[in-house]
Amino acid sequence: MLNALVLSSLFLGSLAIFDVEVLEERDVYTLTPPNNGSGPMWSGGCTSIAAIGEDVYVSEMQTGEGVPLLSNTRWRLLERTPDGFKCVAEPEGYRQREPCSLAVADGKLFMYVNDSIMPPGTMYGACEPHLLKFKLDEPVTYETLMPKWAGAHTFTDHSYRGYAADAAAGRLLMLNIDAKTSVENACMLDTAGNTLATGSITFPIRGCYPQVALIGDAVHAVAVGDIVEPVEEWRKFKFEKTQREWDYVFRILYYARTPNLREQNFGAPLEIANVDKTAGYIGHRDLWIAPNGDAWIIYSEQEVQSALLRDKFFPGKSLIPSLYAAVVRGNEIVERRTIVAGTDGRACSEAKIHVLPDGTPVLLVNLTGKEPGMYLRPLMDEKAGWTKVALTKPFGAFSLASWRAGNSPSDTVDIFGPTNGNVYSYAQVRVKTGE
């Protein structure tokens, strides 16, 4: 559905500095749930949407009818046309458990796949992570680029992958977790598929869903701790009340970097935030690297993860998330900012960064409460007001054609995510500086 809605709104009593024009809203596909523990937004630090000039592509997650778990989905590459998104490439078999993310480098499109190499129905079986390089002619074709990982590794259908690109340098960065050691393996390739460097990150506890930025040979990575409830008293109490075996918690946020992966491995991870003591929850949202090398880490945090634990162990603590930025210079946190303070009337459920043509990073957030919807403002300007994005179909979670995935700075923002249950949709928004 095309529209031309323009809204420059006031929010929190401050004057907005942007005008926002919603150029397009369109449903892309309806997901048949794979019921394999994953979904289209599973790799939250990566993205399933890419833009090359005016051409927009989405990586669809399609569930195979009757295909046994866990690797029961396949990717389908969709291209935006005047009549909607059309499939331009797909494999024959269903060999994926997780979504297959996209990145752009040298004006070319690359997909990160994690093919199961085991018989259908194998759970936690061996996989072969690699890249597909697309030739976007008619018909669309692709070639396989195989990374040369360092040392021994065990890659499975739970990849917890990270993916980034430096489009100008023509480089791509892959992360994939070792199922036995929880080490995140890194591999940097050029656009011809040559391995340029390898490395690894060892977080204090298992770090998952990484957000990665690649700047030349420098790599930045943010991951959240993802482990079974470590406090026995809390674990037993939750099981007594819910009878639920699955009990993973996300309470510590880490950052790791190397200034030059060709010359040195990642340094020791830096702890960014920790809500262990109050059984809280941390959601890492995005990462931006400033021209001076500072890493801006955007994350949400709530004191207690659930009402069940709050009422029993932490009365008076909050369940409402707030949105924060931590600025890291080298390996030191030099600044913290509260971006959205969670209250009974307002909370933030998602946040992503888009870069405008002049290099300005813009933060897009989903707010719930009294004034729900998507808003944006400059990331670094605390005094700037929020501009509302007048979408007719609000997103739940969402991802962007991200700068971290090699997409060019632009005054148009390409957005992808769920809008209604299993319906996944697209929106394009133009951001214009106000007078």
173-228 confidence digits (pLDDT tens): 999 999 999 999 999 999 999 999 999 999 999 999 999 999 999 999 999 999 99
* Least trusted range by pLDDT, from 57-61, 353-357, 363-367, 380-384: 380-384
Choose among 123, 100, 114, 115: nearest CA to 35. Answer: 123
Edge-to-edge order in the sheet of strand 55-63 = 49-52, 55-63, 73-81, 84-89
Q: Distance between CA atoms of 58 and 143, rounded to whole angstroms?
A: 18
Q: Distance between CA atoms of 208 and 172, rounded to whole angstroms?
A: 19
Q: What is the largest CA-CA distance in the chain?
A: 61
Tokens of 385: 């007001």
Q: Please tell me the predicted confidence (pLDDT) of residue 379.
A: 97
Tokens of 33: 């749930």
Residue with tokens 């991870």: 269
Q: Please tell me the predicted confidence (pLDDT) of residue 17.
A: 72
Contact 426, 25 (CB under 8 A): yes
Q: Please tell me the predicted confidence (pLDDT) of residue 433.
A: 78
Q: Please tell me the predicted confidence (pLDDT) of residue 434.
A: 62
Contact 75, 376 (CB under 8 A): no
Which helix H or strand E contains 242, and what residues bound it?
helix 232-242
CA 94 to chain centre: 23
Q: Please tell me the predicted confidence (pLDDT) of residue 66.
A: 97
At 309, is the secondary structure helix, strand, or coil?
A: helix
Q: Which residues pair with 359 in a beta bridge?
A: none
Q: Please tell me the predicted confidence (pLDDT) of residue 306.
A: 97
Given a cut of 80, whether residue 108 has pLDDT beyond it is yes
The mean per-residue pLDDT over the stretch 135-161 comes to 97
Please give the C-alpha separations between residue 320 and each of 43, 285, 303, 342, 347, in angstroms, as whole numbers.
Answer: 24, 16, 8, 6, 7
Q: Please tell me the predicted confidence (pLDDT) of residue 5.
A: 31
Residue with tokens 């759970």: 123
309-327 confidence digits (pLDDT tens): 999 999 999 999 999 999 9
Given a cut of 80, whether residue 14 has pLDDT beyond it is no
Mean pLDDT of the chain: 95
Q: Please tell me the predicted confidence (pLDDT) of residue 95.
A: 98
Given a cut of 50, whether residue 305 has pLDDT beyond it is yes
Reported pTM? 0.95
Residue with tokens 């007594």: 240
331-355 confidence digits (pLDDT tens): 999 999 999 999 988 999 999 999 9
**Other residues' Cβ atoms within 10 Å of the Cβ of residue 65:** 8
Which helix H or strand E contains 312, and what residues bound it?
helix 307-313
Q: Please tell me the predicted confidence (pLDDT) of residue 9.
A: 36
